[in-house]
């Protein structure tokens, strides 16, 4: 489960923007975003058939915000606006896994995007007048995830990564080079398994456990 919080330079200040949970741990699964507005109105949004681990969590959030029907949290925006968006896992003591620091000034949106492995800057024109906090965050997360204000197709499931068989010892493995960049960085960061079958490879059973295949 992911908890999205936002800290803004104007009301509502620090608040929970929403909670995202998945239907099951599997390479492809359905997600639900639950948001509660300042007046107590709750909106639930579903995203079906999403491929886990294929992109940063901001990509998942951007896809879900684009599907929200109606605005839960509405605010006017001044010309100068600053906010921090935190995406954390509630099962890991609220640890922040991704963060966006954003500000608006001079008709531009400036973002610092970071996670446990990297940090980068993004700059883009503001997208007209943001009618709500959701609209601003949706735009920011699109830029943070894809460096563009459009939504690409959902990536292929990580089950398409080929599983190879060692001709000598017979063990199954996946090559690090076959793993897409985002999950490749995170499986290496988690140091899955105590040993590797060979340099630049992971045992197949550890890879399948990582992507939630069993």
pLDDT digits over 20-66, tens only?
Answer: 999 999 999 999 999 876 566 788 999 999 999 999 999 999 999 98
Domain assignment present for residue 172? The answer is: yes
Same domain, 15 and 94: yes
CB contact at 8 A, 169 and 159: no
Low-confidence residues of the chain: pLDDT under 50? 91-92
Whether residues 192 and 103 share a domain: the answer is no
Closest by Cα among 97, 100, 81, 79 to 89: 97
pLDDT value for 137:
87
Is there a single domain that holds both residue 171 and residue 79? no
- The position carrying tokens 């509630």 is 90
- What's the pLDDT score for residue 75? 57
Beta bridge partners of 125: 108
Q: Is residue 152 part of a domain?
A: no
**Residues 83 and 171 both lie in one domain:** no
Could you give the number of structural domains in the chain? 2
Report if residue 203 sits inside a domain: yes
For the sheet containing 14-22, what is the strand order?
42-51, 28-36, 14-22, 2-8, 81-89, 95-105, 108-115, 119-125
What is the 3-class SS of the chain, one letter each residue?
CEEEEEEECCCCCEEEEEEEEECCCCCEEEEEEEEECCCCCEEEEEEEEEECCCCCHHHHHHHHHCCCCCCCCCCCCCCCEEEEEEEEEHHHCCEEEEEEEEEEECCEEEEEEEECCCEEEEEEECCCCCCCHHHHHHHHHHHHHHCCCCCCCCCCCHHHCCCEECCCCCCEEEEHHHCCHHHHHHHHHCCCCCCCCCCCEEEHHHHHHHHCCC
The pLDDT assigned to 181 comes to: 92
On the CB side of 125, how many CA atoms lie within 13 Å of its CA?
Answer: 3
Residues 95 and 68 in one domain: yes
Residues 100 and 165 in one domain: no
Residues 86, 192 share a domain: no
- The pLDDT of residue 183 is 92
pTM for the whole thing?
0.88
The residue range of the domain holding 72 is 2-146
Q: Are residues 136 and 58 in the same domain?
A: yes
């Amino acid at each position: 489960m992911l908890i999205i919080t936002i800290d803004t330079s104007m009301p509502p200040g620090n608040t929970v923007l929403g909670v995202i949970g998945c239907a099951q741990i599997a390479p492809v699964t359905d997600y639900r975003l639950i948001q509660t507005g300042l007046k107590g109105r709750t909106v639930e949004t579903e995203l079906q058939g999403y491929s886990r681990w294929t992109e940063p969590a901001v990509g998942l959030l951007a896809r879900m915000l684009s599907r929200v029907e109606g605005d839960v949290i509405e605010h006017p925006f001044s010309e100068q606006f600053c906010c921090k968006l935190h995406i954390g896992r509630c099962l890991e003591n609220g640890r922040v896994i991704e963060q966006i620091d954003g500000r608006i000034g001079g008709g531009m949106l400036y973002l610092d995007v970071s996670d446990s492995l990297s940090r980068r800057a993004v700059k883009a024109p503001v997208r007209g007048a943001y009618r709500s906090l959701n609209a601003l965050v949706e735009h920011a997360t699109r830029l943070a995830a894809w460096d563009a204000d459009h939504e690409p197709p959902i990536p292929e499931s990580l089950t398409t990564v080929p599983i190879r068989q060692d001709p000598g010892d017979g063990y199954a493995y996946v090559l690090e080079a076959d793993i897409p960049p985002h999950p490749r960085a995170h499986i290496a960061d988690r140091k899955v398994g105590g040993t590797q079958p060979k340099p630049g490879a992971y045992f197949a059973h550890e890879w399948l456990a990582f992507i939630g295949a069993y």
